[in-house]
Structure 1
Amino acid sequence: MPGKKKHERAGSDEVIAVIRRVINENGREFVPHYTMAAICMLAIAATTSFTAWIMRSIVDDVFVQQQWSLLAWICGAVLVAFMVRGFATYGQSVLLAKVGNNIVARYQRRLFDHLMQLDLAFFSSARSGQLAAQISQNVTGIRDLLNLTITAAVRDFVSLVGLVGVMVYMDPVLSLAAFIIGPPLIFSVNYLMRKLRTVTRESVEINSHLLGAMQEAVQGVAVVKAFTMENVLASKMTGLIDYAENRSNKIARVSERLGPITEFLAGAAIASVLAYAGWRASTAGEPPGSVFAFITALLLAYDPVRRLARVQVNIERALVNARMIYEILDTEPHQKDRPGATSLKVSRGEIDFDDVRFSYAENSPVLRGVSFRAQAGKTTAIVGPSGAGKSTLFSLLLRFYDPDGGKITIDGEDITGVTKESLRHSVAYVSQHPYLFEGSIRDNIRYGRPDATDAEVEAAARLANAEEFILQQPEGYDTLVGENGATLSGGQRQRISIARAIVRNAPILLLDEATSALDNESEAKVQQALDRVMDKRTTLVIAHRLSTVVNADHIVVLEDGHLVEEGTHDSLAHKPDGLYARFYRMQTEKAQSLLDGGEQEESTPKEEF
């Protein structure tokens, strides 16, 4: 039992801590709005209490004592009270909606900015579809937490206090009967709150998982259809949907249990009051005005009591959402700029890898002391079998990760001592799988340098051998590319990606298998574009196909995280027992075999390491 009490106390402390954090982060800026909303709520509470209070005068003075001259004044007062209440309700609703929408927008911006600061390790462990779904579901929890707290504290609590005051004023003894619902109602709320906390978090997580799975299925619909996976995925989705439905039904059952409990207790209290009031009126002959006013106050108090009884349940549901948002916001980037980090100034673009060691997981090294130099203005090719660590070198150079040991320098400056922003501004990157964003072709090229003019964008497209197909599109450069460039071929997307790298005009260029997935014609056009952009830039090229690196100024060969040899194509190709020479001979023999067999399609060696 002590452990249970400690858990309940911790849960209550957590609720208070999250609410305090939300108020501290947002309350000050919205003080004027919340002040006006609170004034509106106080007006609602006052007019509600007035409605109950005036009932005694209506019954005793007008109908019992027949003072008909008061009727006009009372009717006017009631009309004014309801008009004030109507305008106050409108003002409160509009103000809270405006604040709530602003809070949602603020946290959406804050979440996106924070996500952009997190390192790749976070995104490697989080499913993007599920993450997006979780954010879209949970961001409203902050808004609901604030609005529920404000309305509960001001409108409902003040209304209840005012109505209880009217009840006590009208009949102190009778008021005691109304409070019989208090203890059992509080007990019920606390019981349901504990039950709801666990099931709500389960529901949010399963729904985010469900929406993420749906997004992945839509994005991979071509693979789904090609492998006739429709029935398999439909079965999987049915299981997720059924589980999500069951969780939602359980939330409804738990949270709505408060309804019959509240109704029963309120009915018992009202019935008791009516029975006692009727007995007293019949025996003592007291005028009914006070009783009518009391009953009116009691009935009007039922709504704020019901809302206050549910507010903790509703806050608990909003709290789950808010906590999950803060779990993301509280995730610290593992890789930050050092204090006092300077901006990188690239003069020549010479890159040195000095005894670089790195592993993604403990005891699983990917790079084992790699050292080499990429000379300024020259092309350095990095080759080796899959898993040798080639792409990891690019990730370290772009500071997606920091090395476990050793260092990488550009013009002698350690890149861990410069800002990531200045480092990445100095690098243009073309990946094997180019990614295009929602928008036009022009927009996607301009992402390389947002301040590029239209003329610079079009010049980059011409250099990338892209303008010919761009002008054939329905709206030229302003043609929308669809989701991830779905309306374009692989070669066209790659050339737009190269144009994006060209317009960046960075002194360092990274090419990660930029032509491996292309057909011969597209590869030839892309290679021409690459030759132009590589001119007078420090270029690092990752390649599986040796045919793409024979003209490189320097070749680095990796195997199992080690640098096993380096040199020019000629020196490495004639090395008797070299890894590069062995694979080069295999590829040229394969190419010759294809030529001898009349297979002209593969006129250049394309075997991979």
Structure 2
Amino acid sequence: MRQYALAIACLVAVAGSTAFLAWVMRDVIDKIFVQQNRAAIVSIPLVVFATFALRGVASYGQAVLLARIGNNIVARYQRRIFAHITELSVDFFAENRSAHLAARINQNVSGIRDTLNLTITSIARDALSLIFLVGVMIIQDPVLSGIALLAGPPVVLMIGGLAKKLRVATRQAIDINARVLASMQEAAQGITVVKAFTMEAPLRERIEALILKAEQRSNKIVAITERTTPVTEIVAGLAIAGVIAYSGYRAVVYGYSPGSMFAFITALLLAYDPARRLAKLQVQLERALVNASMIYEILDMKPRQADAPDAKTLAAPRGEIAFNDVTFGYYEGEAVLRGLSFIAPAGKTTALIGASGGGKSTIIALLQRFYDVAGGSITIDGEDIRTVTKRSLRSQIAYVPQAPYLFEGTIRENIRLGRPDASDAEIEDAARQAQAEEFILAAPQGYDTPVGENGMTLSGGQRQRLSIARALVRNAPILLLDEATSALDTRSETLVQAALDAAMRNRTVLVVAHRLSTITGADQILVVDSGQIVERGTHGELVDRADGLYARFYGLQAGGNRRVDLAAARD
């Protein structure tokens, strides 16, 4: 608030000094040129110089302060919007492309700053300047002031109509520009795929079409925004020309004081700029307010998996997981899980296998409350996960996804994301368990080597081993492995599987796997087909069922096709 007060004080000083310069013109003409007052030759120039100096310092002060305020607004909203979107549900990000969302937010946050800065500068500088200058005009000559002010109403009426058109065009432009930036970002991230499939030409054509649309929309906005300029200039020109003609006539015919007339005309000319800016204010505010409203559309969204008002903290001393008659679908009328029930005993390993799309990864997502079940319940140690806080639930879980994701920063920082308070020794121990230390120490800066965008400097297997190390350093009682070894070669898979076997001891583990060789030692194996558990047992028990789905699937893989899908066994 203090910065706002100082900025407004500076703007008031700019407005007051501008009006004073118009006022002092009467004394410049009358006392120096008409009365030839020698003392005025010294005093009035000094006063004019001091006024310009004050105006310059105040202008600098308001510009710097408003820039700081604007930058602070951007920073605060960036923090606020990031904090909010990280609280939104996973389905929000499934429905909104991340690159498009980032580009749109970047544009919208600037709109918040522009709205506040435009409001402050227009009210404190332009409006006050206009009021002070009109005051000078009225004091000098009320009749001429009335003539000059007749220009206002037609300009105001015209601007009201333009603002409505601009609102629609601005929203469309923001969306198109966000799509352009998002498409460029996606092309940069997927450049290896682009080049591998020689997609340069079709992608270039698609982006060029978007750029053309963005250009056309921007041209339309400029045409609407600048439509006020010729009308304002013409109306203002008529008013100023009329005032000059009438005041000149009165000075020549009736001998009116040239100082008063000169002060009036100076005030009128100085009032033109703030009046012109105020005439465009509504049009400019419409553009800024569209951006601001789009930010609040996101900020007003509520997480679909919000904590219950009386949610408690999950302790999970044992970590027993139970799915009780769970039904779920991502879209209405399309069930993925149909009355699914099972218990994953505490401290034991439960493996999930099944055809692609059968619901295995959905089970992992529901357990972490990325989505809420449509029917039934999921409990951990008897506690329904909908009755506990999401933070306490997820703090009891370590997760290794199928597609490893690394963030900007070093190898050490990426592993530490699993548990921010982990010591360097714990991070290095987790890396050793994940069989990652060998390539980490071979990197140029060891653990302090930057990983590049999403780990582009690392192989798929290396990224996966860092992902496993991140899960291990979390030291949670529940471990979720979603095809955790899928990106590894045979040697790495053997090493990591040994590390995982050690990490899984005394933990409740859910493993999603296609390679049956990785789950033969599981305490129980659940075969998931069309959203239901169709077989359950140990590896030995299931293999002994000659006509079972698991046995056929195992037979196909044992025959040499390590990646054959369960659907092939079913068929």
TM-score, scaled relative to structure 1: 0.91
1:174 and 2:144 correspond: yes
1:40-83: CA deviation from partner (whole Å, max 9, x where unpaired): 11111111111111111111122112122222111111111111
- Give the deviation of 1:317 after TM superposition: 0.8
**For residue 529 of structure 1, what is the aligned residue in structure 2?**
499
- Structure 2: how far apart are the matches of 1:405 and 1:510? 23
1:348 and 2:328 correspond: no
> In the TM superposition, what are the counterparts of 1:94-105 in structure 2 within 5 Å?
94-105=64-75
1:474-516: CA deviation from partner (whole Å, max 9, x where unpaired): 1111111101111111111111111111111011100001112
Contact 2:464/2:487 (8 A) holds in 1: no
**For residue 197 of structure 2, what is the aligned residue in structure 1?**
227
Greater Cα offset, 67-76 or 135-144: 67-76
Contact 1:491/1:526 (8 A) holds in 2: no
**For residue 250 of structure 1, what is the aligned residue in structure 2?**
220
- Give the deviation of 1:581 after TM superposition: 1.6
- Give the deviation of 1:286 after TM superposition: 2.2
Structure 2: runs of 5 or more not aligned: 567-571
- Give the deviation of 1:529 after TM superposition: 1.8
1:203 and 2:168 correspond: no
**For residue 287 of structure 2, what is the aligned residue in structure 1?**
317
What's the secondary structure of 1:130's corresponding residue?
Answer: helix
**For residue 55 of structure 1, what is the aligned residue in structure 2?**
25
- Give the deviation of 1:518 after TM superposition: 2.4
- Structure 1: how far apart are the matches of 2:487 and 2:410? 24
- Structure 2: how far apart are the matches of 1:162 and 1:606? 81
Structure 1: runs of 5 or more not aligned: 1-29, 592-601
- Give the deviation of 1:36 after TM superposition: 1.7
What's the secondary structure of 1:495's corresponding residue?
Answer: helix
What's the secondary structure of 2:329's corresponding residue?
Answer: strand
- Give the deviation of 1:390 after TM superposition: 0.4
- Structure 2: how far apart are the matches of 1:326 and 1:544? 44
Contact 2:400/2:468 (8 A) holds in 1: yes
Greater Cα offset, 249-258 or 319-328: 249-258
Greater Cα offset, 184-193 or 323-332: 184-193
Q: State the one-letter code of the partner of 2:212.
A: D
Q: State the one-letter code of the partner of 1:201.
A: R
- Structure 2: how far apart are the matches of 1:477 and 1:38? 51
1:394 and 2:364 correspond: yes
- Give the deviation of 1:517 after TM superposition: 3.0
**For residue 5 of structure 1, what is the aligned residue in structure 2?**
none
Contact 1:210/1:240 (8 A) holds in 2: yes
1:371 and 2:341 correspond: yes
- Structure 1: how far apart are the matches of 2:304 and 2:343? 28
> Of residues 54, 57, 62 in structure 2, which corresponds to 1:87?
57
1:175-199: CA deviation from partner (whole Å, max 9, x where unpaired): 1221121111112211221221111
**For residue 329 of structure 2, what is the aligned residue in structure 1?**
359
Greater Cα offset, 217-226 or 107-116: 217-226
- Structure 1: how far apart are the matches of 2:6 and 2:529? 69
Q: State the one-letter code of the partner of 2:61.
A: G
> In the TM superposition, what are the counterparts of 1:571-590 in structure 2 within 5 Å?
571-588=541-558, 590=559
- Give the deviation of 1:519 after TM superposition: 2.0
- Structure 1: how far apart are the matches of 2:557 and 2:463? 28
Greater Cα offset, 573-582 or 451-460: 573-582
**For residue 565 of structure 2, what is the aligned residue in structure 1?**
608
What's the secondary structure of 1:555's corresponding residue?
Answer: strand
- Structure 2: how far apart are the matches of 1:397 and 1:287? 87
**For residue 480 of structure 1, what is the aligned residue in structure 2?**
450
- Give the deviation of 1:227 after TM superposition: 0.9
What's the secondary structure of 1:228's corresponding residue?
Answer: coil
- Structure 1: how far apart are the matches of 2:383 and 2:310? 14
Q: Name the % identity.
A: 60
Aligned-CA RMSD value: 1.2
Contact 1:545/1:608 (8 A) holds in 2: no
- Structure 1: how far apart are the matches of 2:162 and 2:564? 65
TM-score, scaled relative to structure 2: 0.97
Q: State the one-letter code of the partner of 1:608.
A: D
- Structure 1: how far apart are the matches of 2:98 and 2:271? 48
1:149 and 2:124 correspond: no
- Structure 1: how far apart are the matches of 2:31 and 2:444? 82
> Of residues 510, 520, 523 in structure 2, which corresponds to 1:550?
520
> Of residues 529, 533, 539 in structure 2, which corresponds to 1:559?
529
1:276 and 2:246 correspond: yes
1:536-570: CA deviation from partner (whole Å, max 9, x where unpaired): 21111001222222111101111101111111111
Number of paired residues? 566
- Structure 2: how far apart are the matches of 1:45 and 1:238? 46
**For residue 44 of structure 1, what is the aligned residue in structure 2?**
14
1:540 and 2:540 correspond: no
Q: State the one-letter code of the partner of 2:443.
A: Q
1:510-535: CA deviation from partner (whole Å, max 9, x where unpaired): 00011123221221122122112112
**For residue 569 of structure 2, what is the aligned residue in structure 1?**
none
- Give the deviation of 1:607 after TM superposition: 2.3
**For residue 230 of structure 2, what is the aligned residue in structure 1?**
260
- Structure 2: how far apart are the matches of 1:190 and 1:239? 33
What's the secondary structure of 2:350's corresponding residue?
Answer: strand
> Of residues 437, 441, 446 in structure 2, which corresponds to 1:467?
437
> Of residues 443, 451, 454 in structure 1, which corresponds to 2:413?
443
Contact 2:356/2:565 (8 A) holds in 1: no
Greater Cα offset, 292-301 or 142-151: 142-151
**For residue 73 of structure 1, what is the aligned residue in structure 2?**
43
- Structure 2: how far apart are the matches of 1:79 and 1:539? 80
Contact 1:431/1:511 (8 A) holds in 2: yes
What's the secondary structure of 1:371's corresponding residue?
Answer: strand
- Structure 2: how far apart are the matches of 1:292 and 1:343? 77
- Give the deviation of 1:111 after TM superposition: 0.3
1:154-186: CA deviation from partner (whole Å, max 9, x where unpaired): 211111111111111111111122112111111
**For residue 305 of structure 2, what is the aligned residue in structure 1?**
335
What's the secondary structure of 2:36's corresponding residue?
Answer: coil
1:501 and 2:471 correspond: yes
- Structure 2: how far apart are the matches of 1:242 and 1:516? 42
Contact 2:10/2:58 (8 A) holds in 1: yes
